[in-house]
Amino acid sequence: MMKNICLFIFLLCTFAISATAQLYELSSPGGNLRFSLQVGDSMTYTVYAGTKRLIKPSSIGLELYSGYRTADHAEIKNTSRSEVHGIIPVLNGKNTEIREDYKELVLEMDSFSLIVRAYDEGIAYRFKTRFSGEITVKSETAEFNFEGDPDIWFGEAEPEMIQWERSYYPYASIG
């Protein structure tokens, strides 16, 4: 009987903790990439390609010099979704235009928003604040907990280089 009561209390606590966290998902226009965001005491995201997990739960957030931390104010007040399919004209370069295709999720909190875009080629996010006056970011949490042990391709350059295109060299994962 005592084991059943302990199990019930454990399950109740687990449900109460998970009930406070909210889950938001966004897929790329082609549907292959999926971004999953869990918002609770912190913000953690996961990225999938099809059914394969590419990035394990990883934290994101900001801390300002004023002491404000996005993790402390991550209660979602409003959400909106949109989808963009268009063409961007290019002034210079070998292409005259670039396709612009993405789905967007905007999560609004008290003093900031998290904007996430899912493209067929990748995922992007940014924070947008609504504070009056200037703010200074003290630190940003941007974890990338990759699944497995992927190789790394890194564009090396000397500090004095000013060219935009660099050679990329493969490295074994540091994980």
For 27-61, how does the pLDDT look when each residue is reduced to its tens digit (9 = 90+)? 999 999 999 999 998 999 999 999 999 999 999 99
What is the spatial distance between Cα 104 and Cα 138, in angstroms, rounded to a whole number?
Answer: 27
Q: Provide the token pair at 42.
A: 């912190």
Evaluate if pTM is beyond 0.85.
no
What is the spatial distance between Cα 63 and Cα 137, in angstroms, rounded to a whole number?
Answer: 6
63, 139 Cβ separation under 8 angstroms:
yes
70, 43 Cβ separation under 8 angstroms:
yes
Greater pLDDT, 14 or 48: 48
Using left for φ > 0, alpha for ψ between -120 and 50, and beta otherwise, residue 7 falls in alpha
- Interior angle at CA 46, CA 45 and CA 51, nearest 5: 155
DSSP reduced 3-state for 94 = coil
pLDDT reported for residue 127: 96
Q: With 80 as the cut, is the pLDDT of residue 173 above it? A: no
97, 89 Cβ separation under 8 angstroms:
yes
The one-letter code for the residue type at 141 is T
C-alpha 65: how far from its chain's center? 22
Mean pLDDT of the chain: 86
Which DSSP letter does residue 51 get?
Answer: T
Quick one: which of 144, 153, 149, 158 has its CA closest to 171? Answer: 153
